[in-house]
Structure 1
Amino acid sequence: MKRVLGLSFFYLLFSACSVHYRPKDHPYVYVQKKDREVKEWKLVWEENFNSPKLDSSKWSRIPAGGADWNKHMSTDDACFGWENGALILRGIKNTNQDKDSRPFLTGGIWSKGKFAFQYGRIEIRAKLGSAKGAWPAMWMLAELDKYGKYPRNGEIDIMEHLNFDNIIYQTTHSYYTLDLGQKENPKHFGTASIKSEEYNTYGISWYPDRIVFQVNGVDTFTYPRVNGVDPAQWPYDQPFYLLIDQQLGGSWVGEVNQDQLPVEMRVDWVKVYQ
């Protein structure tokens, strides 16, 4: 995305905002007032997936791309479902390779261009499916492109799960960790134990000086802002949008066993507090 004109003016107004401030040019962006985190947070945005269709004012289906994570993404209805108030995101065999040559397809949603926030707490209640090559993820990318092309704006991985693991990964990526190779100053990821066949609540509490990762309300890993290092260490001072997707395959998770498909992630709700 191109740099947004008027962004400096956006931040001059920052200290005048209430619980959340939505700039005129980006009414879907929720920015937390300075020092608001020292007070009791309030629910400012939520999605309960009670309707048997995707709320297009909040979400879009993720289209296919060229990266490991999205090269099998599809907007096909077969990759999506609703049941008992939960959104179902599926990884499936592709049964019509004459129309689409990819061997399998995956479903995912993002709030890009429809909802983004800066600082606060996000919680996502979901149940993960397991299969060889399954890679469900909940993560965040920058909405307004403050620092340039990826990975300059950073990435916040709330939760990633691989194969049949009994742990999840919670990670930050940025120019500092990827291009400069600074993965231990500070450590940029942690793991947490889960029972993937059960519903769990995954989240972060995001402050101006740290990101605290959580599972079921328990702090699991903290990524702090560090003084005296390259400024690229902390691109997390801008609004981010949300992605939730049932990925398959790739260099990290490995090959997909199609005999174990379909695999699915069930998302009960998403809540954001500021």
Structure 2
Amino acid sequence: MLLGLSAIACHTNKRLANHLPAHIYIQQEGRENKAWKLIWSEDFNGTKLDTTKWSRIPAGTADWNRHMSQDDRCFRMEHGKLYLLGINNPDTTYDKRPFLTGGIWSKGKFAFQYGRVEIKAKLGSAQGAWPAMWMLAELDKYGKYPRNGEIDIMEHLNFDNIIYQTTHSYYTLDLGEKKNPPHHGTASVDAGVFNVYGISWYPDKIVFQLNGKDTFTYPRMKGVDPSQWPYDQPFYLLIDQQLGGSWVGKVQKEQLPVEMVVDWVKVYQ
């Protein structure tokens, strides 16, 4: 018990020394060379979303969030699993959008810098379905998007038998440096069964994984524009059932509803 309290105190002091809120977990220097330890998890065993860990994602103007909704019909929790749905809007008299989608994020409630995240989930397929698990910067270290970077743990399109695993940043988007180094990879998947999607994130690389196996690595480069590596700051988690957009294509409303089922989320450092 004393050892555990000492470790907690050390971790807390590390946060205080950096003047960071208690919900931000900074991995101690050198910890990446040791065995992973679980620091945060979510099993979705309740009947309602744990609002100390998650919030429902609000609507926005981008392709990914233009249909995000707070509507209860886009969320369900049962049998220890979270269901995030994309549905036809049943009433467009108030909300004119044709579709509604459910998503959650840990923004302002949990973020971490370096470590390993694993998400066990089953993906639904439909034309225009775009389920995603990804990460954005908790703090505004480098400026407006995309300067703080984006880590896409998993994106799935339509009825594909592959997933996309990607990094986005000022370096890849504005400077167009997508091959030095390659900024994305794909992995074969049976989306309709439960898989574990994840990354192992180090100070010098991000290793993307599927069911515990490495699939793609994005390294920190030397001798390139510094914007290549904004991944030296805390990031929060997003899990959402997206619909439509220029990448995934037009939604076939006859194929809705579609859902992503999330069993658990685990983060290690």
Is the structural similarity TM-score above 0.5? yes
Q: Which amino acid aligns with 2:15?
A: R
1:248 aligns with 2:243: yes
Query: 1:162 is paired with a residue of what secondary structure?
Result: coil
Contact 1:92 1:105 in 2 (8 A): yes
Equivalent residue, structure 2, for 1:8: none
**Residue 227 of structure 1 aligns with which residue?**
222
Identity over the aligned pairs, expressed in percent? 75
- Kindly tell me: are residues 233 and 84 of structure 1, through their superposed partners in 2, closer, same or farther at Cα, counting changes over 3 Å? same
Q: 1:18 Cα shift?
A: 3.9
Is 1:212 aligned to 2:207, yes or no?
yes
Which of 154, 157, 161 lines up with 2:156 in the alignment?
A: 161
* CA-CA distance at 1:83 after TM superposition: 2.1
Contact 1:128 1:197 in 2 (8 A): yes
Instruction: Answer yes or no: is the 8 Å Cα contact 1:20–1:33 preserved in 2.
Output: no
| Unaligned residue ranges in structure 1 (runs of 5+) | 1-15
1:10-21 aligned within 5 A: 18=11, 21=14
Contact 1:21 1:29 in 2 (8 A): no
Specify the alignment match of 1:260 in structure 2: 255
Tell me which amino acid in the other structure corresponds to 1:165: D
C-alpha displacement of 1:21: 4.1
Contact 1:19 1:33 in 2 (8 A): no
In 2 relative to 1, CA 163–21 (structure 1 residues): closer, same or farther, beyond 3 Å?
Answer: farther
In the other structure, the counterpart of 2:3 is none
- Once residues 47 and 132 of structure 2 are traced to their aligned partners in structure 1, the CA distance between those partners, rounded to angstroms, is 22
Q: Do the aligned partners of 1:126 and 1:269 also contact (CA within 8 Å) in 2?
A: yes
**What is the CA–CA distance in structure 1 between the aligned matches of 2:185 and 2:13, rounded to whole Å?**
30
Runs of 4+ in 1 over 6 A off after TM superposition: none
Q: Secondary structure at the match of 2:214?
A: strand
Q: Secondary structure at the match of 1:114?
A: coil
> C-alpha distance in 2, partners of 1:127/1:20?
38
Equivalence for 2:185 = 190
Please give the TM-score of this superposition, normalised by the length of structure 2: 0.94
What SS does the corresponding residue of 2:131 show, helix, strand or coil?
A: strand
- Correspondences of 1:1-274 after superposition (within 5 Å): 18=11, 21-23=14-16, 25-274=20-269
Task: Give secondary structure in 2 for the equivalent of 1:22.
Answer: helix
Task: Tell whether the 8 Å contact from 1:20 to 1:32 is kept in structure 2 after alignment.
Answer: no
Report how far residue 82 of structure 1 moved: 1.2
Give distance in 1, aligned partners of 2:112 and 2:13. Answer: 9
Question: Which residue number in structure 2 is paired with residue 7 of structure 1?
Answer: none
The letter of the residue matching 2:165 is Q
1:63 and 1:74 in contact (8 A); partners too: yes
Q: Distance in 2 between matches of 1:181 and 1:226?
A: 15
Matched residue SS, 1:148: coil
Take 2:77 and 2:254, find their aligned partners in 1: how far apart are those partners? 24
Q: For the structure 1 residues 177 and 80, does the alpha-carbon distance in structure 2 shift closer, same or farther, using more than 3 Å as the test?
A: same
Paired residues in the alignment total 259
- The Cα shift of 1:26 comes to 1.0
Q: Is the 8 A contact 1:170 1:189 kept in 2?
A: yes
Q: Tell me, what secondary structure is at the counterpart of 2:171?
A: helix
Q: Which runs of 5+ in 2 are unaligned?
A: 1-8
Q: Letter of the aligned partner of 1:231 in structure 2?
A: P
CA distance in 2, matches of 1:110, 1:48: 15
Q: Is the 8 A contact 1:30 1:117 kept in 2?
A: yes
Return the offset for 1:22.
3.3
SS of 1:220's equivalent in the other structure is strand
- TM-superposed CA distance for 1:25, in Å, is 4.4
SS of 2:195 mapped into structure 1: strand
The structural deviation recorded for 1:84 is: 1.4
TM-score, structure 1 as length reference = 0.93
- How has the CA–CA distance of structure 1 residues 17 and 228 changed in structure 2, closer, same or farther, with 3 Å as cutoff? farther
Tell me the alpha carbon deviations over residues 97-134 of structure 1, each in whole angstroms, 9 at most, x when there is no partner: 00100001000000000000000000000000000000
